[in-house]
Amino acid sequence: MKHQFNAVLRRRGRGILAAVLWLFIACLCIQAHSQSSPPSLGDGTQQFARLGEFRLQSGAVLHDFNVGYRTLGKLNADKSNAILWPTWLSGTSADLTQFIGPQNVVDSTKYFVILVDAIGNGISTSPSNSPSQLAMKFPQFSIRDMVESEYRLVTGVLHIAHLRAVMGLSMGGMQAFEWAVVYPDFMDLTIPMAGSPQSTSYDKLLWTCEINAIELDPAWNNGNPTGPLTRGVALAEEIDSMNSTSPDYRATHTKTDDFETFLVGAGKNARSDARAAADQIRQRQAIVSLDIPREFGLTLDQAAKRVHSKMLVIVAAEDHVVNPGPATDFARAIGAPVVTLESPCGHHSFSCISVGPAVAQFLADPSSARSRTLRDTSNP
């Protein structure tokens, strides 16, 4: 009897041990799942995806790479309502939240919107915040690298295999063009706004002038800064202000007697620490190197024909920051509709003319989109 009792105890002990072991394994699985699939909060909270070692197209590696993002809205059951919107030059995902919501550019009651902080914006891993590659030790990256980081976020972290749309403004529009060519079957729709598939010599001149202005600051010291940058950053801001609208707009909106006041607001007193200046340089270098056709050894028309998504291209006719020519040529090559904004606001035409209704209509019914011109009636 005693031996039978001991045998029962041993069997029960093994059973309890097995149960504990299975419980331990289950806990590990839950923990691993929570780490690989962070909750998509849907309320615009800043989140980060840890991608570890991130190899750039150049072969250089970003260490401990994190990509910042925010999500708004709810992903539907078949994961078919996700829209990706990456940031513009120096912009953050927080800047983009103003365009998301009911009766806004993108309605978050209908779509699950993913706002992504592009590499080098100071939120995602950047020259200003990298633990091991600070300032100019941070390798040069490209618009393509931004897209690859976003692809890894969407597929590997959010586990979304297809997007309803990719859209973006300015540098975000450049990323939208890149997405459409590199991953032609990954989205239904692409909406580049004031973006380009290829930087023209005029574009390169602007960005190079701004980079040169920053690097000519005495405190820059050939990438080994001796203190905060003032003069170079201020000059870069002034160059940007000169190009962001149009001559007519500036002459109309700034009286000669008010010029000094305008200059102060345009950047005369701007200053930046060295790390933030490195962010500005590296993102501008990415724009300077933008040339999607060259990436594939194709002409612009041939690169355009790689696109399978339906595309709506929105440009500003008087854009002196991003030349609209390559974008309209790209659209013409595939018969995509072009919405042209006629405004002296130039690159800032998107703040002078609302494109929200055109975008919302295209998202809802792509077949209804037609080429047209929207005119600014507030800035004759």
The pLDDT score that the predictor gives to residue 40 is: 53
Q: What is the pLDDT of residue 213?
A: 96
Residue 335 has pLDDT above 70, yes or no: yes
Instruction: Encode pLDDT of 348-368 as tens digits.
Output: 999 999 999 999 999 999 999
- Which DSSP string do the residues of 285-324 spell out, in sequence order? HHHHT-BHHHHHT--HHHHHTT--SEE-EEEETT-SSS-S
Q: Is the predicted pLDDT of residue 268 greater than 90, yes or no?
A: no
CB neighbours of 358 closer than 8 A, spacing ≥ 6? 312, 314, 339, 369, 374
What pLDDT shows up at residue 180? 98
So what's the pLDDT on residue 264? 76
Residue 39 binned pLDDT confidence (cut-offs 50, 70, 90): very low
- Range with the poorest average pLDDT among 219-233, 306-320, 363-377: 219-233
How far apart, in whole angstroms, are the C-alpha atoms of residue 302 and residue 334? 10
Asked whether the predicted pLDDT for residue 16 surpasses 70, the reply is no
Distance of alpha carbon 346 from alpha carbon 324, whole angstroms: 11
CA atoms within 13 A on the CB side of 174: 29
Whose CA is closest to 56, among 237, 250, 333, 286? 286
Per-residue pLDDT tens for 61-75? 999 999 999 999 999
**pLDDT > 80? residue 105:** yes
Structure confidence by residue, pLDDT tens digits, 238-251:
999 999 999 999 99
**Both tokens assigned to 278:** 């490195």
Mean pLDDT of 254-274: 80
What 8-state DSSP symbol labels residue 140?
Answer: P
- Give me 219's structure tokens: 């405190």
pLDDT for the residue numbered 258:
86
What is the per-residue pLDDT for 35? Answer: 38
Structure tokens at 29: 């699985």
Q: How confident is the model at residue 259 (pLDDT cuts 50, 70, 90)?
A: confident
Coil/strand/helix, residue 353: coil
Mean pLDDT of 122-128: 97
**71: β partners:** 114
Spatial distance between the Cα atoms of 246 and 346, rounded to a whole number of angstroms: 6
Mean pLDDT to the nearest integer, 260-279:
80
How many Å apart are CA 201 and CA 207, to the nearest integer? 10
**pLDDT at 52 > cutoff 80:** yes
Percent above pLDDT 90 for the chain: 78
Q: Are 333 and 361 in contact (CB under 8 A)?
A: no
The C-alpha atoms of residue 233 and residue 270 are separated, in whole angstroms, by 6
For the chain, helix, strand, coil in percent to 5 are 45, 20, 35
Evaluate if residue 49 carries a pLDDT over 90.
yes
pLDDT of residue 186: 98
Decide if pLDDT at 5 tops 70. no
Band the pLDDT of 42: cuts 50, 70, 90: confident
Tell me the one-letter amino acid at 307: V
- pLDDT category at 23 given cuts 50, 70, 90 is very low
**Domain annotation for the chain: domains and CATH numbers:** 47-202+287-375 (3.40.50.1820), 203-286 (1.10.1740)
Rounded to 5°, the CA angle 150-152-154 comes to 70
DSSP string covering 153-202: IIIIIS----EEEEEEETHHHHHHHHHHHHSTTSEEEEEEES--SB--HH
pTM score of the predicted model: 0.88
User: Percent of the chain at pLDDT above 70?
Assistant: 88
In the structure, what pLDDT confidence band is assigned to residue 269 with cuts at 50, 70 and 90?
low
pLDDT at 230: 87
CB 87 within 8 A of CB 93: yes
pLDDT mean across residues, the chain: 89
The stretch 130-152 carries a mean pLDDT of 96
Which H or E element spans position 62? Answer: strand 61-72
Q: Lowest mean pLDDT: which of 10-14, 31-35, 67-71?
A: 31-35
- Of 120-134, 195-209, 218-232, 313-327, give the lowest mean pLDDT range: 218-232
What is the pLDDT confidence band of residue 18, given thresholds at 50, 70 and 90? very low
